Structure 1
Amino acid sequence: MTSPRRTIGPDHHGPDHHGPDHHPAHPLVPPQRPALRALPTHPEVDLPRTQEGPQPQRLLTTLLGDYWHGRREHLPSGALVALLGDFGVTTVGGRAALSRLARRGVLESSKVGRHTYYGLTAAASGVVLENVHRLRSFGERHEPWDGRWTVAAFSLPEDLRDVRHTVRSRLRWLGFAPLYDGMWVSPRPVAEPARRVFAELGVLASTVLTTTVDARRSDPHPPMAAWDLTELRGQYEEFVAATTPLREQLRGCGVTGAQALVARTALLNAWWRFPSLDPDLPLDLLPERWPRRAARDLFAETYDALGPLAAGRFRAVVGESSPELAALVGYQRSEGPASGTANRR
């Protein structure tokens, strides 16, 4: 089942309601900020957007991507609803989220007797695969920068605000930032992807070029002015400050499977905002002692350490209704192959 083609922008359905179907998340959860919801290269996949607080739809897609990635088998709806219960989502809220995701074309369902099962559609699974690749690779670049900038300039009339918003979202995903309103720059070789964005969205008044600029000259508005490095540094430092106690707790005392499942999901969403804010900016252009590497190392260590515990919880819940499916549960790692059986071919 495929949803109608949609552009990537604000969630068309809005954030899930924070009402009687929600309860506070576990205190292990680090603070979160809005994160990316889907790849703009797949505008037909209407994944839910991450916002503050518990959201059943986003939680479901994250859980399936993390512990059921690459599997085409469907999981019992009761098990998925029970897993959401660890995040404070009621049974009513969990079942409503399953139905909404199916209507959006993110999940597909099947029946075995009177029981309903769900799994990611092929299109949604493809988006998850690309998301995982980007997550694993972010923060690992250390090669010298070649000194080239990609510049994308465009103009749209005022009555095409929705198109303008979509263009901006997709350029930012590619690693661009606005130097001026209609001129975006990136230190990465992304000229062809930018041209495809303009072509797909019908932006005729556009130009994409690659150039070299002496970014160290005393220019009143050099390309790096497109990024607020003070704000970005602060966000990395905030992430480190929020995540360090969780790492220390993992090192020093026991954490239950349910706690690990909640904390790992929150950690993933907190980290996932950075690729849209920082396109792996070359170290040549950054201040000394830039905190990205330290933040990534902290994320990787904590995320991977939580993996076995969280997967154990996922496996135990699925096993209550389907032991044969429980044996297939695995978990993603921050780098390298996934662990467990869920990705074996």
Structure 2
Amino acid sequence: MTPIDLPRAQSGAEPQLLLTSLLGDFWYWRDEHIPSTALVRLLDEFGITADGARAAMRRLTARGLLTVARSGRTTAYGIPPRTSEVIVERTHRMLTFGASAPDWDGRWTVVAFSVPEQDREVRTALRVRLRLLRFAALYDGVWVSPHDSGGAARAVLDDLGVGTATVLRCTEVPGGSPAGNPRAAFDLEPLAKDYRGFAEQYEPVLAEVEAGRIGPADALRLRTRLRVDWRRFPETDPDMPAELLPPDWPRGRAQQVFVQIYDRLGPLAELRFREILARTDPALAALARHHDSATVAALFAELGERRPRGDTPFERAAEARRLAEAEPDPARARRRARRT
């Protein structure tokens, strides 16, 4: 079998993100706890030191994202109640995002606001949160989105105490200049470049997968890094309707590469995951399962009333991370991250 150079994680994946990605791939809907020794060995596959791995476990536990169980000198970690439903929903979103563009009725959601200069922190927070709702600034105090997200925008305004604001759903009157068109608020070229880069980086890997030249150890590392690299797109892409996208939009190409590699490497990655756990507990290793796009879709359809409502520690931590990543002030972002 020919060794291959695996793509590096594009955003410098941290141990906490790697660990939650691994458990999210192979261990949801399991009540059993995995000994810390096995988790250290899993993260060692990605070059994470034992100290770094144990620190990640402690921090995830402190944030409510892992539960801990102790028996004698053995410490083990598991997934908290209700987290599996969140993992299913988020994985389904990750795997289906980009497969098609949303429908559009031709209307825009417009948020117009005025925040005094002395309230600059409120203004910054408002901009960050509108951006997370897939709005973009057409003018300084006028933000637009092609999605029907007026209710969510109003909730943000109320939460921040911004009273001098108006939320509208409206259509553009034809005849204006291109610079005044609401779609001009969205600079899609950097995102297109990222999608093309993702596809160009992973298409050679897909060829290796199809040729059967990737073994279990590489499969586990690659599938996890692939997941980490792709996860940012559903969070940062404004998900524009097809009518508003430029020609040859590269998202579909990148999405197909992502799903094909993710699905095809599942069995091999599961094998490596089991091999590592078996060194500590063979019976526990037999419980590990991978999930591909088809099984995740079936699990998602079965959630029904159990779909997450945003009140679990996992969801709160994910939202805090998104806010921190969207924060233009690095120092303020670090302070927010420490609070979570």
TM over 0.5: yes
Deviation at 1:244, TM superposition (A): 0.5
Aligned counterpart in structure 2 of residue 259 of structure 1, from 211, 214, 218: 218
User: Matches of 2:112 and 2:287 in 1, distance apart?
Assistant: 48
Question: CA distance change for structure 1 residues 118 and 126 in 2, over 3 Å: closer, same or farther?
Answer: same
* 2:4 counterpart of 1:30: no
Higher relative contact order (CA 8 A, sep 6+): 2
User: Matches of 2:283 and 2:119 in 1, distance apart?
Assistant: 52
Give the conservation status (yes or no) of the 8 Å contact 1:142–1:283.
yes
* 2:269 counterpart of 1:310: yes
Deviation at 1:54, TM superposition (A): 4.2
Aligned counterpart in structure 1 of residue 33 of structure 2, from 74, 82, 94: 74
Question: CA distance change for structure 1 residues 62 and 224 in 2, over 3 Å: closer, same or farther?
Answer: same
User: Matches of 2:206 and 2:258 in 1, distance apart?
Assistant: 9
Aligned counterpart in structure 2 of residue 295 of structure 1, from 248, 251, 254: 254
Percent of aligned pairs sharing the same letter: 45
Deviation at 1:153, TM superposition (A): 3.0
Q: Size of the alignment, in residue pairs?
A: 299
Show structure 2 runs of 5+ residues with no match: 304-340
What does 1:44-59 correspond to in 2, within 5 Å? 52-59=11-18
Q: TM-score, normalised by structure 2?
A: 0.78
Aligned counterpart in structure 1 of residue 106 of structure 2, from 141, 147, 151: 147
Letter aligned with residue 7 of structure 2: P
Greater CA deviation, 106-115 or 169-178?
169-178
Deviation at 1:53, TM superposition (A): 2.4
* 2:212 counterpart of 1:245: no
* 2:129 counterpart of 1:170: yes
RMSD: 2.8
What does 1:161-310 correspond to in 2, within 5 Å? 161-213=120-172, 218-310=177-269
Q: Secondary structure at the match of 2:208?
A: helix
Question: CA distance change for structure 1 residues 143 and 104 in 2, over 3 Å: closer, same or farther?
Answer: closer
Q: Secondary structure at the match of 2:180?
A: coil
Give the conservation status (yes or no) of the 8 Å contact 1:300–1:334.
yes
Give the conservation status (yes or no) of the 8 Å contact 1:177–1:186.
yes
Deviation at 1:98, TM superposition (A): 0.8
Deviation at 1:123, TM superposition (A): 6.6
Paired residue for 2:292?
Answer: 333
* 2:279 counterpart of 1:320: yes
User: Matches of 1:102 and 1:117 in 2, distance apart?
Assistant: 11
Question: CA distance change for structure 1 residues 227 and 254 in 2, over 3 Å: closer, same or farther?
Answer: same
Paired residue for 1:17?
Answer: none
Q: Secondary structure at the match of 1:331?
A: coil
Q: Secondary structure at the match of 2:246?
A: coil
Q: Counting helix residues as a fraction of each chain, which structure ranks higher?
A: 2
Q: TM-score, normalised by structure 1?
A: 0.77
Greater CA deviation, 158-167 or 242-251?
158-167
Question: CA distance change for structure 1 residues 329 and 114 in 2, over 3 Å: closer, same or farther?
Answer: same
Question: CA distance change for structure 1 residues 272 and 316 in 2, over 3 Å: closer, same or farther?
Answer: same
Greater CA deviation, 291-300 or 203-212?
203-212
User: Matches of 2:91 and 2:265 in 1, distance apart?
Assistant: 17
Give the conservation status (yes or no) of the 8 Å contact 2:28–2:84.
yes
Q: Deviations over 1:230-282 (max 9, x none)?
A: 22222211111111111011112421222111111221122222223323211
User: Matches of 1:332 and 1:260 in 2, distance apart?
Assistant: 14
